Amino acid sequence: MDLKPFSFGGFSAMLPSDWEVSAIRMSNQEVVLGIQDLEKARLEIRWQEAGWKKAKDEARKTGRPLTKRLLEPEEVAENYHKQLKKKAKGMDFEEGVAEEKVDGHQAYVSKWYDETGKGYEAIWYCGVSDRYYYLRYADGEDYSAFKSLLATVTCHTSLNTLKWQYLGLNLELPRDYALDSQKAEVGKLTLVFLGHWPLPNRKKSSLSWLRPPPLPQVRKLILSRWNAIRFGNAQLDSWTKDESEKLIKKYIGSTRVEMGPMGLEVNGHAGKFVLFSIGGGLLRKPSAYLASYGWFCDASNSAFLLVTPLPMGVNWKEKIRLENAPPSPPEYVKCH
């Protein structure tokens, strides 16, 4: 069986090559991913923030007693299965049919049945990511296949970057970025990731109008991928500028084009760069700069647009003029 890597928000596994993400649901404390092939649903991946590390840190800082208790996987399974039985008609479980190690953690394995089919489920706690994980496998009685899948799972990492490999994308972003939204259209996919701005280090001044305006509440990175048919006969320079302006206006807010389009190389392809500023104006410096990189990849038959914040504390407009070259694109997107 041909396998491909799947990665999403710190979770990764090797999945059959014809399995793809069919549903994504995200809330403040929970992420649920549905995965299917051309026939039916095959896998559900779910994780919840346990809050155990946060509770211990607060107890240590305040000196108050630790009131929260970390539940064992079988306790989590029992509570979760009670909820499912109420919601899903005909749902039943054979509890604790096996125990497995998943990325070094002890997992509690159950067998499930409902009107749509049957399969296996593994629940475990990851102390590194401080998450409870639920992995539900909907492929009948084949436990060996489920066990092989569990052997490929990674649920935590100590690296400074996280991989996002799904829907034909291959991204590696700083780990402070989390997926906020995605929009799939015919021939076009747009992802928006949220991060945090560094704390400002501004000198006090009575001339407040000379200071940069406040930063937006969140730091956003936008990636848009168009297939060749959707891209059509568009010119890369005008497409990079115009599409960037639309995305920034929709997802970030009011900005201004400072420079570009300028030519450069992105992932070995001829690309375009446009510089945007946030805030600023008469007698006021911009609060931040955004770089937009657009390029066409023949190998993937797709056009890519990456809008990413530039490091703060630099007058990027002046720096680009002095060096007569745009900043190198970050190696976030592996397009081929």
Say what percent of the chain tops pLDDT 90.
71
256 part of a folded domain: yes
pLDDT in tens, 133-156: 999 999 777 899 999 999 999 999
| Contact present, 215 and 298 (Cβ < 8 Å) | no
* Span 16-60, pLDDT tens digits: 999 999 999 998 789 999 999 988 899 999 999 998 988 888 888
Do residue 113 and residue 186 come from a single domain?
no
User: Domain count of the chain?
Assistant: 2
Q: Are 19 and 149 in contact (CB under 8 A)?
A: no
pTM of the predicted protein model: 0.87
Is the same domain home to 116 and 197? Answer: no
**E strands, 63-104, in order:** 92-102
pLDDT of residue 216: 67
- 254 pLDDT above the threshold of 60: yes
Q: Of 150, 173, 194, which marks where a domain is finished? A: 150
Domain range for 287: 161-323
In a domain, 21, yes or no: yes
Query: Domain boundary residue among 150, 176, 197?
Result: 150
Q: What is the spatial distance between Cα 286 and Cα 318, in angstroms, rounded to a whole number? A: 12
111 with 223, same domain?
A: no
Three-state secondary structure of 94-131: EEEEEEEEECCEEEEEEEEEECCEEEEEEEEEECCCCE
Residue 330 within a domain:
no
- Can you tell me the distance from the alpha carbon of 199 to that of 85, in angstroms, rounded to the nearest whole number? 47
Instruction: Please answer whether residues 175 and 193 qualify as being in contact, where contact means their C-beta atoms are separated by less than 8 angstroms.
Output: no
In this prediction, residues 258-278 reach a mean pLDDT of 95
Q: Which residue, 99, 121, 150, sits at the end of a domain?
A: 150
Phi and psi, residue 38, nearest 5°:
-70, -15
Q: Do 260 and 214 fall into the same domain?
A: yes
Is the CB of residue 19 less than 8 Å from the CB of residue 112? no
Residues 57 and 140 in one domain: yes
Q: Which residue has the higher pLDDT, 121 or 312?
A: 121
- For residue 140, what is the domain's CATH number? 3.40.1000
